[in-house]
Structure 1
């Protein structure tokens, strides 16, 4: 009998889901920052009691965490050094020399993760083909090791020019460091991110080294605590690419855990899309600290090779720390239940990215918070029941929310508490809607015809209003929406993506070399997956990144297994032009085409999981339920909304509030809601009834 536990540590709540052959149980507990494992243990005991099982019966734990991301954002990693090629010490400070805000004369670039006095160089040089131009001076490396020992570094990143083409020099340095500094952790760019573009590669390797001691300590501590509590079973980690990796691999490559929680949410939405046969889905995940928006086409989330952590300038692309690893492509903004609001110098309401988190939390929590958060606005607008928030485990205090809204917004803008809450909610909803529009445009998509899937504790409160703003007619809120990312962990495959940067022009296409390259990467990726799962069938997805000669960036081109096994120059060009036209509207005739990066993603085949229990059905009409005053921003006035428990709903007209322990689904006057066969709520525009 398989009993699996999914755990998602967020900025405000830690979500825990226990899945058994009979169904699943879930809970939300406040995240414990000082010792994140405490919240996991608490939640694990709660769901085990609900299921009536001993902790020893759990056979597998899948975990996702924001710890890696937070350590990078807050810059509280280990004392780390970089060893790089002579002459390239300042690559991570020079960046790409692009300005993310053209007209800001006082533009400040974010500081690099390592100051200049922590960046060291040695004599060596490879060319782009991997041929040695200057041999590595081992005596110089040995002398440098003594310098690093004297400075008491905990971790070292090694990034040499063109190491993706030939890693020999990096391996030699690793051998010297292992002999001279046995207690120091080492990260090689050829292991962490074997791809071209030294700025992104060096930065990713430094980030891995920077958080490696912290994450290794946490994962070891967590494994021990779980065993002490009786849950002595395999622990796996969700990685940013949407798959599962072993605890040992996660400890070695913790940078792959960045965005692991949001990746679980995208997998959850893709699973729901597959169940309902939807080919165009907008995944909307809103928790306590951030909101994540992802496009899912043909039941698979869009992926990318580079993304940014800790954007410092209004979430502008280019203002953050680039991490070059396989990742589910999404936009993430500081808009969650705990996001704090203020009035700026131009008397405009601003929301986020600063968050109240769980300590002290929004003002309504009564835990010492005095500034208004999105949750405070939701409470004052009638979206939340102060007595039944988080299943009644966290009482909310409306008077504290009103006082915070009045102090921060009302007194400055001459508004009462309801107007201030309305303004706050509209700003945060418009921020999210604008992020969704921009993300769609950047990916060449029109949101018309898309279906939204909303999950996370706060998303069902805001999803219908987002749909109104975006012109999206339909929104699905699945069962377990409040803990969607944790459920997504239990739906994810074991997977690993192998990448190689091998430059090849189509005019010099070498089919034999391509076949050998794909075979090598397939073997590497499959071996990694087999270390986690020894029995399941393994599938492989092949992809190349291509561009016209002279362009700075590539676009992904997917290949079938047949096209990868029997590579054909003409077919590669056809596929590239199809993808290029899809993104940019037309191909460029007569231009040379280049391939820069090759990728193989090995993953276990999806297995059938227990369906979500649709629960009992009631046929009581809406008028038989109590009502609560709900402010409808589209109408600009309060309305009387029916309050209906989710397990008593079959169909209702808005305005209505569909309640459950972990969230509330707001159905405004423009929408209606019905229950689908698997228990999913279908919230749709009244004039477009399915």
Structure 2
């Protein structure tokens, strides 16, 4: 590994290892960097859904023990999780109450007065996470400028606290009308409720995301309260389990924007972790793709339950402020991840109309696919992989877990009988359905973002990403696939290398020309102070700190705004600067600007990034010119309705410059890569596997 230049304080503080962990529904993945040698070690253990931290602790013991090390030598521990996300998707969060200003009790029910599907007259609006009976109105009021219209009184807060106490809730969140303009009134309500409601978690919307748009701000606040008790208990259990196995380092969690934050902050503000696991995977994919010289990618993380898709442009993950968390909008900046209910554990079935469906139900880790031999009897994607010959039943997870072909065939038999085909053909039908589910969901998402998939490289990861990659690429018309060195643990790698990152916002809603430059700069200075205060409070070693400013702007009368990057020095920010930046961005996007037209500033934004020490992927030894790798064996696979004789290679035996044609199988501890007929695989200097389509 090339010599890194680190500040003296960082070098002295660094211990032997850096650890990243990603807890999924089926497996818990670990990536460990040995700082001394630059070697990256990976490991997978089955997840423990009843207590996710137990799998993490067991994985730490096994991995560090395998290397002859000590968990106390781990100087950095970053953890990605889907705990909060799964709680929202499965509707198993805390019992929550919501406090609103008088007259706003129907805030969550009214939402944006839109159905999920406006063309379906029978569709219904998703149920709120907080029933109307647990929404309490408080007689307080601010106007749009933050001036107090109706002040808080002791009598009003007493009645509110009594009503909340009678509900026996675990968490309370406060979202008051126009609180974004002046958060002090909302903060006062929270302080009073915390004193009166002992043992109940109380949070406020302006502490989480103080943006105008009452419903969206309210949803952020409710989601935070909904998962806060669960996340608090989980973080405490993780700390205890990690300490039990000897780990002493401070714990950090990945967050939805691709950065990390301390576990203490995550327990208080868990809404920032809802896309924690998927975001870490995109960070890892961008890191590996840049190392391989690929800058524009479509990433696809196929795990046990779902396939999470994202975009990388210019080597940087694409961000969004209109992501969805289940049935609810998420306005906070997050890595733009789109989830499809198709994973290795997705269950195949027939619906009431006799149509075969795959997912979104998953066999999970317990009992898991039928092939695991743990009691599962329903056919899954993994069973189909096994029957088609993609997986070696004796070498799954490097031989640590044996698969049972006969059980997979037994599970698929009812499908085959109903389809009128043999069992291998039924297995292919399951894989074709999974491919169709992914591509039909992917194409609209890519089209909406102006992306032609044929111009991008597919980066598959997760336990099943590389196994399914050729099927998906062919369906999307993509000609290149980049398989990372360790696809099955890439989310853990992303967690390990992610920087500290946080976003801050201030709603402005003023014309550019109507506010003195000094007032504008003062607002940006306040955002900067808030951001730097957060970073100092995280107490993490960083190599450098950067601040990025932006503003949401639009021409007067427009309904939507653009987020426009601004100079990173507050002294440069003024009305003329904002107008020039906006018109340049508008002209780039729409072809022409409208000079002289009134410009409005909707929000001011700041993002702080504390860059952690990085590392370089080790380069592989080079193969002799013109040499081909020696197969470790051969086996029959079924692909495209035809049986093929495929060569089998061991990933660890491949050298830089090696190349071979499909059909072929590449096996490694954490995944299996299927190189389809018509594709050629080549190994680059950092061990990434590039599959290139050579025939239509």
- TM above 0.5, one fold? yes
Matches within 5 A, 1:426-445: 426-445=432-451
Tell me if 1:418 matches 2:434: no
User: Counterpart in 1 of 2:193?
Assistant: 177
Change (3 A) 1:412 1:507: farther
**TM-score, structure 2 length as denominator?**
0.93
Matches within 5 A, 1:89-100: 89-100=105-116
Please give the alpha-carbon distance, in whole angstroms, between the structure 2 residues aligned to 1:578 and 1:444: 20
1:186 CA displacement: 0.8
Please give the alpha-carbon distance, in whole angstroms, between the structure 2 residues aligned to 1:4 and 1:660: 22
1:138 CA displacement: 3.1
More divergent stretch after superposition (179-188 vs 251-260): 179-188
2:683 to 675, 680, 684: 675
Structure 2: segments with no counterpart, 5+ residues: 1-14
More divergent stretch after superposition (580-589 vs 481-490): 580-589
Does the 8 Å CA contact 2:292/2:688 hold for their aligned counterparts? no
1:641 CA displacement: 1.0
User: Counterpart in 2 of 1:632?
Assistant: 639
1:385 to 386, 392, 398: 392
Change (3 A) 1:578 1:449: farther
What is the DSSP-based 3-state SS (H/G/I as helix, E as strand, rest coil) of the residue aligned with 2:507?
Answer: strand
Matches within 5 A, 1:333-412: 333-407=340-414, 409-412=415-418
Does the 8 Å CA contact 1:629/1:639 hold for their aligned counterparts? yes
Q: Per-residue displacement from partner, 1:525-547 (whole Å, max 9, x unpaired)? A: 12212222255321112222223
Please give the alpha-carbon distance, in whole angstroms, between the structure 2 residues aligned to 1:570 and 1:49: 60
Matches within 5 A, 1:567-606: 567-580=573-586, 592-606=598-612
Tell me if 1:3 matches 2:17: yes
Tell me if 1:12 matches 2:20: no
Tell me if 1:658 matches 2:672: no
Please give the alpha-carbon distance, in whole angstroms, between the structure 2 residues aligned to 1:231 and 1:297: 37
Change (3 A) 1:300 1:142: same
Please give the alpha-carbon distance, in whole angstroms, between the structure 2 residues aligned to 1:687 and 1:654: 11
Tell me if 1:641 matches 2:655: no
1:154 CA displacement: 2.0
Matches within 5 A, 1:16-27: 16-21=30-35, 22=37, 23-27=39-43
Matches within 5 A, 1:459-474: 459-474=465-480
Structure 1: segments with no counterpart, 5+ residues: 311-319
1:537 to 537, 544, 551: 544
1:229 CA displacement: 1.7
1:602 CA displacement: 0.5
User: Counterpart in 1 of 2:218?
Assistant: 202
More divergent stretch after superposition (650-659 vs 546-555): 546-555
1:133 to 144, 149, 165: 149
User: Counterpart in 2 of 1:317?
Assistant: none
Please give the alpha-carbon distance, in whole angstroms, between the structure 1 residues aligned to 2:234 and 2:88: 15
Change (3 A) 1:120 1:352: same
What is the DSSP-based 3-state SS (H/G/I as helix, E as strand, rest coil) of the residue aligned with 1:531?
Answer: helix
1:68 CA displacement: 0.7
Tell me if 1:553 matches 2:569: no
Does the 8 Å CA contact 2:542/2:611 hold for their aligned counterparts? no
Please give the alpha-carbon distance, in whole angstroms, between the structure 2 residues aligned to 1:583 and 1:289: 37
Please give the alpha-carbon distance, in whole angstroms, between the structure 2 residues aligned to 1:372 and 1:24: 35
Please give the alpha-carbon distance, in whole angstroms, between the structure 1 residues aligned to 2:449 and 2:201: 39
What is the DSSP-based 3-state SS (H/G/I as helix, E as strand, rest coil) of the residue aligned with 1:59?
Answer: strand
Please give the alpha-carbon distance, in whole angstroms, between the structure 2 residues aligned to 1:151 and 1:449: 55
Please give the alpha-carbon distance, in whole angstroms, between the structure 2 residues aligned to 1:178 and 1:382: 59
Q: Per-residue displacement from partner, 1:281-319 (whole Å, max 9, x unpaired)? A: 111111111111111111111112242222xxxxxxxxx
Please give the alpha-carbon distance, in whole angstroms, between the structure 2 residues aligned to 1:164 and 1:614: 53
1:389 CA displacement: 1.0
Please give the alpha-carbon distance, in whole angstroms, between the structure 2 residues aligned to 1:587 and 1:410: 59
Does the 8 Å CA contact 1:622/1:653 hold for their aligned counterparts? no
User: Counterpart in 2 of 1:164?
Assistant: 180
1:113 to 129, 132, 136: 129
What is the DSSP-based 3-state SS (H/G/I as helix, E as strand, rest coil) of the residue aligned with 1:153?
Answer: coil
Please give the alpha-carbon distance, in whole angstroms, between the structure 2 residues aligned to 1:60 and 1:622: 37
Does the 8 Å CA contact 1:290/1:335 hold for their aligned counterparts? yes
Please give the alpha-carbon distance, in whole angstroms, between the structure 2 residues aligned to 1:425 and 1:687: 22
Does the 8 Å CA contact 2:543/2:613 hold for their aligned counterparts? no
What is the DSSP-based 3-state SS (H/G/I as helix, E as strand, rest coil) of the residue aligned with 2:454?
Answer: coil
Please give the alpha-carbon distance, in whole angstroms, between the structure 2 residues aligned to 1:183 and 1:40: 29
Does the 8 Å CA contact 1:122/1:137 hold for their aligned counterparts? no
1:621 CA displacement: 3.7
Please give the alpha-carbon distance, in whole angstroms, between the structure 2 residues aligned to 1:8 and 1:423: 31
Does the 8 Å CA contact 1:617/1:647 hold for their aligned counterparts? no
1:64 CA displacement: 1.1
Change (3 A) 1:419 1:574: farther
1:490 CA displacement: 1.1
**TM-score, structure 1 length as denominator?**
0.94
User: Counterpart in 1 of 2:502?
Assistant: 496
Change (3 A) 1:591 1:413: farther
User: Counterpart in 1 of 2:48?
Assistant: 32
Change (3 A) 1:616 1:456: farther
Please give the alpha-carbon distance, in whole angstroms, between the structure 1 residues aligned to 2:488 and 2:409: 26
Change (3 A) 1:591 1:332: farther
Please give the alpha-carbon distance, in whole angstroms, between the structure 2 residues aligned to 1:495 and 1:57: 25
Change (3 A) 1:641 1:510: farther
Does the 8 Å CA contact 2:385/2:427 hold for their aligned counterparts? yes
User: Counterpart in 2 of 1:189?
Assistant: 205
More divergent stretch after superposition (430-439 vs 361-370): 430-439
What is the DSSP-based 3-state SS (H/G/I as helix, E as strand, rest coil) of the residue aligned with 2:78?
Answer: strand
Does the 8 Å CA contact 2:521/2:574 hold for their aligned counterparts? no
1:329 to 324, 327, 336: 336
User: Counterpart in 1 of 2:4?
Assistant: none
1:300 to 300, 311, 316: 316
User: Counterpart in 2 of 1:449?
Assistant: 455
Q: Per-residue displacement from partner, 1:108-127 (whole Å, max 9, x unpaired)? A: 11100011111100111112
Please give the alpha-carbon distance, in whole angstroms, between the structure 1 residues aligned to 2:555 and 2:450: 19
Does the 8 Å CA contact 1:237/1:245 hold for their aligned counterparts? yes
